[in-house]
């Protein structure tokens, strides 16, 4: 049985894949440079999602305005691990061995955030376990955009194929073509 909170991703010894969705102007510039460049905004928090299906939920399978292009962002493993380690949860859990005031102070000073959202299945239904998304603050945006990126790939054609298969009700085929995500150790 999958634990309630488990970091799952497509990864190898050197990289971890996260997903982001953008309009064509940002996607084309990033793909050409193999890093994020203008018109990517360095002045706001950017959220990355290791779960392909959660990214599909957020971008409407690449059908939402300014989210028509889905990029697989392969981050250097050391940078991804450092991001996870510094990320402060966006919601307080009273079971923590920390007072609410201490958590609030850490949250206000955070350079990175972590949020656990319900994982989705291929039909979009909520799963019983949660998936992580990570917010990268403005103070880290330039490092993320250039130094942390090992490779950028446009997975929009795959998303379009999967979207069409979903319309046909070919759920087994959709599942077969999904990126393989495993528990990150």
pLDDT in tens, the chain (185 residues): 678 888 999 999 999 999 999 999 999 999 999 999 999 999 999 999 999 999 999 999 999 999 999 999 999 999 999 999 999 999 877 777 778 788 888 888 889 999 999 999 999 999 999 999 999 999 999 999 999 999 999 999 999 999 999 999 999 999 999 999 999 97
Please choose, from the candidates 51, 53, 55, the residue with its C-alpha nearest in 3D space to the C-alpha of residue 21.
55
- CA-based Rg of the chain, rounded to a whole angstrom? 17
Is the pTM here over 0.85, yes or no?
yes
Strands (E), 37-122: 46-48, 69-76, 88-89, 112-120
Identify the sign of the CA torsion 89, 95, 100, 102: negative
Q: How far apart are CA 39 and CA 49, in angstroms?
A: 21
Predicted confidence at residue 104, as pLDDT, reads 81
Please choose, from the candidates 75, 69, 71, the residue with its C-alpha nearest in 3D space to the C-alpha of residue 16.
75
């Amino acid at each position: 049985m999958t634990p309630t909170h488990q970091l799952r991703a497509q990864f190898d010894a050197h990289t971890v894949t996260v997903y982001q969705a953008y309009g064509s102007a940002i996607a084309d510039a990033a793909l050409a440079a193999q890093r994020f460049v203008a018109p990517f905004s360095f002045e706001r928090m950017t959220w990355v999602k290791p779960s392909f299906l959660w990214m599909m939920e957020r971008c409407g399978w690449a059908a939402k305005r300014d989210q028509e292009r889905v990029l697989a962002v392969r981050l250097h493993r050391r940078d991804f691990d450092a991001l996870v380690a510094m990320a402060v949860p966006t919601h307080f859990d009273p079971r923590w061995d920390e007072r609410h005031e201490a958590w609030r102070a850490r949250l206000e000073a955070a350079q990175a955030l972590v949020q656990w959202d319900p994982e989705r299945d291929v039909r979009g239904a909520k799963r019983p376990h949660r998936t992580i998304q990570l917010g990268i603050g403005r103070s880290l945006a330039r490092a993320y955009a250039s130094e942390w990126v090992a490779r950028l790939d446009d997975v929009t054609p795959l998303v379009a194929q999967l979207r069409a298969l979903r319309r046909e009700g070919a759920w087994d085929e959709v599942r077969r073509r999904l990126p393989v995500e495993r528990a990150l150790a």
